[in-house]
Amino acid sequence: MGREQWKKIWVGSAGNMVEWFDWFVYASFAVYFADSFFPKGNDTANLMNTMGIFAVGFFMRPVGGWVLGRVGDRKGRKAALTLTVTLMSASAILIAVAPTYAVAGYGGVAVLLVARMLQGLSVGGEYAASATYLTEASAPGQRGFASSFQYVSMTAGQLLGLGLQIVLQRTMSEDALHSWAWRIPFIIGALGAAIVFYLRRNMLETEVYAQDDSAQNDPERGTLKALWAHRREAFLVIALTMGGTVAYYTYTTYLTKYLSGSAGLDKPTASLVSFCALFVFMCVQPLAGRLSDRIGRRPLLITFAVGSTFLTVPIMTLLKHAGSFWPALGLALLALFVVTGYTSINACVKAELFPTGIRALGVALPYAIANALFGGTAEYVALWFKKGGIESGYYWYVAGCAAVSLIVYITMRETKTIDLNRVKRADGEDAPLPARSANSSPSGV
């Protein structure tokens, strides 16, 4: 992999890291600010209300996927990536300054809701833009490896959030964390987004997009009409995402709450378990991505689905009775190793399904819909089962979602060998991209 490709991967990953730091600190710090925006009362109910707002961000992701996916296909991957980080910075600032219930009543909830809507818009486009960018920026035989850095950067963002949480837990009192210190990560996120905005303004466009001269003047490029022509692939993205996104959010954003709220671990220990497990998880992503470049995407996806279908119930049950750091860490690592079969390659799999002119929107909108229905509601569903006294029902829910995706993985085609440097002709046949004109620029946008 050449220096220029590494540079593209670095810039795309750095922005993705900040995006997901801002996205995940909401979930990881919710246990501290849940009572700030609602009347004092039942802690579980307040956390459910706060996570309900978290879920609203997911329901905005299809809108963001549509708007920013269209921008990515019509104006370029660089333009979409720059816009996403701008929206994320604005949302982080809003959460950092949101007034509490004691100061403004439900006015603080309104600010929080607007901020989460902006985050949903941003992340709805960020996933597809970064997935498309990382996939297109890599050599044909290295797409799995390169695109795996999307989840490396996503996990790094969450690790930074968890690491900051651990530091604050050990340097500040519980009262301080509940009253004002929970705002610190959102301030840091806003500053980080400003830095990434500068980096992305100077990033290079992918050659696959820049050289696609024949489609760039197509008025239907990046439209819903063009996406409908690839509706089979769009529905495939929803189905193959279903099991992966539920499992991912279960063992990442929800894990800390589960360990502290159900398994009986104190909050600092629960956070440390998540931090250590996620660090190892982050490190194995490129290894799995590289493996997929050798043996294909389907074997990894099928391994994930089989493992998640049959191991979720026993893992979650044992986690609830882990009792201490090491047993909890071992079980969390087992779960995340299983999830790696999905996370390490799902970005390139989805990008490989679509031609260049509809790739960003084709990944963005169906993926965002799947996350709105399953990923964004995972924590809320888990807390709903817990409040109803049947927490184990959630374990079966996760396993069931994985089973549905397993059927899809078994029946789908292999995407490893698909040539991204080809476009769809009007007759539906593949054709190579035309020769790049002498005046075209690799910077694209």
Distance CA 70, CA 63 (A): 11
Residues in the chain: 445
Q: Are 73 and 222 in contact (CB under 8 A)?
A: yes
| 161 contacts: CB under 8 Å, gap ≥ 6 | 21, 24, 25, 28, 29, 185
Neighbours of 7 (CB within 10 A): 13
DSSP H or E segment with residue 423: strand 422-424
The reported pLDDT for the residue numbered 187 is 95
Half-sphere exposure of 71 (CA within 13 A, CB side): 21
Q: Are 90 and 118 in contact (CB under 8 A)?
A: yes
The two beta strands, 430-432 and 422-424, are: antiparallel
**What tokens does 131 get?**
């997935």
Look-up of token digits 């994320």: 88
Distance CA 406, CA 311 (A): 14
3-class state of residue 424 by DSSP: strand
The reported pLDDT for the residue numbered 93 is 93
Distance CA 21, CA 88 (A): 10
DSSP H or E segment with residue 42: none
The reported pLDDT for the residue numbered 159 is 87
CA distances from 318 to 163, 273, 335, 339 (A): 25, 15, 11, 17
Look-up of token digits 């987004």: 193
Distance CA 168, CA 213 (A): 51
Distance CA 262, CA 317 (A): 10
According to DSSP, the residues that pair with 424 across neighbouring strands are 430
Q: Are 344 and 289 in contact (CB under 8 A)?
A: yes
DSSP-assigned states of every residue in 151-213: HHHHHHHHHHHHHHHHHHHHHS-HHHHHHTGGGHHHHHHHHHHHHHHHHHHTPPPPHHHHT-H
Prediction pTM value: 0.84
Mean pLDDT by 10-residue block, N- to C-terminus, for the chain (445 residues)?
74 80 81 78 67 76 92 91 90 91 83 88 86 87 92 90 86 90 93 88 82 68 92 95 95 90 90 93 97 97 98 97 96 98 96 93 93 85 92 97 97 92 47 37 31
The reported pLDDT for the residue numbered 441 is 32
Neighbours of 220 (CB within 10 A): 13
One-letter amino acid of 81: L
Look-up of token digits 């929803």: 238
Neighbours of 15 (CB within 10 A): 28
| 126 contacts: CB under 8 Å, gap ≥ 6 | 15, 16, 19, 68, 81, 84, 85, 88
The reported pLDDT for the residue numbered 429 is 46
% helix / strand / coil in the chain, to the nearest 5?
Answer: 80, 0, 20
**Nearest one of 148, 53, 42, 113 to 386, comparing CA atoms:** 42
Distance CA 241, CA 346 (A): 8
Give the gyration radius of the chain's Cα atoms. 21
| 407 contacts: CB under 8 Å, gap ≥ 6 | none
**Nearest one of 94, 104, 31 to 57, comparing CA atoms:** 94
